[in-house]
Amino acid sequence: MSRDPQPGWRSERFSQGYVADYKPFVFVDGEGVRCSLYVSGCLFACEGCFNEATWSFRYGTPFSDELEDRVLADLAHGSVQGLSLLGGEPFLNTEVCLRVVRRLRETFGRTKDVWCWSGYTFEELRGGSPDKRALLAGLDVLVDGRFEISRRDLSLPFRGSTNQRVLSVPASLAAGRAVPWSPTRAASRGA
C-alpha cells in the first residue's frame, strides 16, 4: 500500500468507479445542508485514518446512473447548499467526481457549492495530472492535506489535524497560492 501517491498519477490507473456511501441532507460535511458522496479508494494510508475501509478501490458499490440522478434530485431541494466529495480519495476517483460536478454545474450553475476533502495539498493538485486539475477547477472549497495523527485536533472545524487547511478554491487559483475559506453563511460549526 503506497503512502505517497504522486500528484501526477492519473485516477484512471486506480479508480474502479466505486462509492462507499451516499448521504443526503447532512450537516457535518461542510457549510449548511449537504449531499455527501464518499468515493472508494485511497493510497495515502494515513495512520489513524477515520475510514480505513474506504482505502479499497472496490469497497461499496459501483457508481451508477441511478445514483447520479438521485444525487441531482436531492441537490435540487431548496434547503441544500451543495455537494460534498469525500473518501477514500476523490482525486484518485476523478471520473466519478467530475461526472457529478459537471452535472451539478450544468443544472445549478453556481447556486450550489462543491466541497471536497483530499489527502493531496492544493499545491500538489494545482501541479497535478490533468484530471486532478479539472476537478480542482470545479470546486468551491478544498479541505487539503494528509491526516497527521501527531497533529490531531478534534476541535478544528471541518478537519482533523492542524496541518490541514480549509481553502477557497476560486480565490486560491486566482491568487496562485492557498487562500483560506471564509464562511459564506451563518453556518460555522465544529467538525
Question: Where along the sequence are the contacts to ligand SF4 (CB under 6 A)?
Answer: 42, 44-46, 49, 51, 54, 87-89, 119, 146-147
Closest distance of CB 63 from ligand SF4, Å: 17
Q: Which residue is nearest to ligand SF4 (CB)?
A: 119
- Whether 6 contacts 125, CB under 8 Å: no
Which is nearer to ligand SF4, 36 or 72 (by Cβ)? 36
3 state SS of 131: helix
Closest distance of CB 57 from ligand SF4, Å: 12
Closest distance of CB 46 from ligand SF4, Å: 3
In 45-80, which positions are buried (b, 16+ CB within 10 angstroms) versus exposed (e)? ebeebeeeebbebebbeebeeebeeebbebbeeeeb
d(CA 103, CA 126): 22
In 164-180, which positions are buried (b, 16+ CB within 10 angstroms) versus exposed (e)? bbbbbbeebbeeeebbe
C-alpha cell at 39: 468515493
Closest distance of CB 185 from ligand SF4, Å: 26
Closest distance of CB 50 from ligand SF4, Å: 6
Which is nearer to ligand SF4, 46 or 72 (by Cβ)? 46
Question: Rounded to 5, what percent of the chain is helix, strand, coil?
Answer: 30, 20, 50
- Whether 71 contacts 21, CB under 8 Å: no
Q: Rounded to 5 degrees, what are φ and ψ at 43?
A: -110, 5
Which is nearer to ligand SF4, 1 or 186 (by Cβ)? 1
Which is nearer to ligand SF4, 115 or 147 (by Cβ)? 147
Which is nearer to ligand SF4, 121 or 168 (by Cβ)? 121
- Whether 27 contacts 189, CB under 8 Å: yes
Which is nearer to ligand SF4, 3 or 102 (by Cβ)? 3
Closest distance of CB 163 from ligand SF4, Å: 12
